[in-house]
Amino acid sequence: MMFDRILNMFTTVSNESHGSVFVVFMIGLVFGVLIQYSRVDKFEKIAGFAMLRDTVVPKMLFLAIGLASIGLYFMVEAGYASYHPKPIILGGLIIGGTIFGISMAILGKCPGTGPVSIAEGRIDVLVGAIGGIFGGLVFTVYFDFFKKIMGESLGKTTLVSYFQGHENLSVFIFGIVLIIVSIVIPLRQEFDEADLQQLQE
Amino acid sequence: MIRRMPWWLAGILMALLVLFTFSVFGANRPFGASTYVPYFAGILFDLSPEKYPYLKEVHFAGAWEGVMLLGALTGGFLTSVFVTKTFRLSIMPTGWKKYKNSSVISRLVWSFISGFFLIIGARLAGGCTSGHFLSGMAQTAISSMIFGGVVLLSLIITGKVFYKSEANDV
């Protein structure tokens, strides 16, 4: 039964028009390589950012968002992509965001970096992921309750839509500001034992 | 020398990966990572999508992110073994020992609790670091900016309150 449902995961992906199973797997693989190679899957990078002792995560994240925002806008204009913004659900965003930030600072991972961290042998993160599975279970079972907290959708607004007629310029400024922010954040680093051993070599 | 990629190169390549995911040549959808968790919970606990409407809601996104996750695990494993050479079984992060305590039980209990709430928080907000920060802010989505502001604030306050300000020598 469970085996059928896992197989069903692959059929679902191949029946959808969101990339073949191979393409989706490769997107994940490249993501895993980038996260591992840049070492932002480490506790010292994410919890270190929460303590303001390590700035690699915000530097990388702001640079990636800045570049992607400009690139994506022009890709959408050219018809090679489309926007899929998430709805503004104030209760969900504020309460969920607060819980998410607290948990991220304590676990030192997010749902994307966690698995990559497990792949390099971190058992504490595996325990965190088991906790996460139970979180997913509780959310699924008590969805009616959580839905009330999330509140009504106030629409899927984007910042550029407020600048009718100046979309190009506004997205360009948005992207450039984020890129500048990523450069001016001073570089601070925390290392873990595995890295320190390599430093001594 | 520590084998790792500089933040700026990783940022540029991550932007390209997000753009590829969005493009019609790639997946024609945003990049995301937290939906696979309730999807897998549904599989592991054999919950019927007929009975739990949320499972129906995440059926497609969950499957997509599930396959993506298998790729991420593979990529992370291969890189940690062959490139950065940091693969090793470990329980206690250096930073936890340095800024919190050296109790394995404490680390594991907090890992479980924070992992539990990490997913509750992400699903309440409809996305996580990947879906809201990377994909959402790249679309200049207002929802993602609200999420980003709230997360940054609660992350930094927790960092200040939860950990010691003075380091223990490791």
Question: Mind listing the pLDDT tens digit for each residue in B32-61?
Answer: 999 999 999 999 999 998 999 999 999 999
Distant-in-sequence, close-in-space partners of B98: CB < 8 Å, separation ≥ 6: B167, B168, B169, B170
pLDDT category at A196 given cuts 50, 70, 90 is confident
Range with lowest mean pLDDT among A49-58, A74-83, A188-197, B64-73: A188-197
How far apart CA B145 and CA A122 sit, in angstroms, is 31
Which of B7, B12, B134 has the highest number of chain A CBs within 10 A, making it the mutation to test binding with A?
A: B7
Judge whether residue A96 has pLDDT over 60.
Answer: yes
Strand partners, B141: A158
Q: Which residues contact B50 (CB under 8 A, 6 or more apart)?
A: none
Cα A3 vs. chain centroid, distance in angstroms? 28
Chain B environment of A138 (Cβ under 8 Å):
116, 120
- Contact call for A157 and B66, based on CB within 8 A: no
Q: Which residues of A touch B132 (CB under 8 A)?
A: 86
**Looking at residue B3, what is its pLDDT?**
83
Q: What is the mean pLDDT of residues A66-93?
A: 95
pLDDT of res. A201: 55
Using pLDDT thresholds of 50, 70 and 90, give the confidence band for residue A146: very high
Whether the CB of A21 is below 8 Å from some CB of chain B: the reply is yes
Q: A33 CB near a chain B CB, below 8 Å? A: yes
Is residue A200 over pLDDT 70? no
Q: Which helix (H) or strand (E) holds B152?
A: helix B142-162
pTM for the structure as a whole: 0.95
CB contact under 8 A, A127 and B158: no
Residues 6+ apart with CB under 8 A from A179: A62, A63, A66, A67
B chain contacts of residue A27, beta-carbon cutoff 8 Å: 17, 20-21, 26-27, 31, 68, 71
Nearest to A69 among B64, B140, B143 (CB): B140
In this predicted structure, the answer to whether residue A181 has a pLDDT above a threshold of 70 is yes
How does residue B169 score in pLDDT terms, banded at 50, 70 and 90? low
Cβ pair A64:B122 closer than 8 A? no
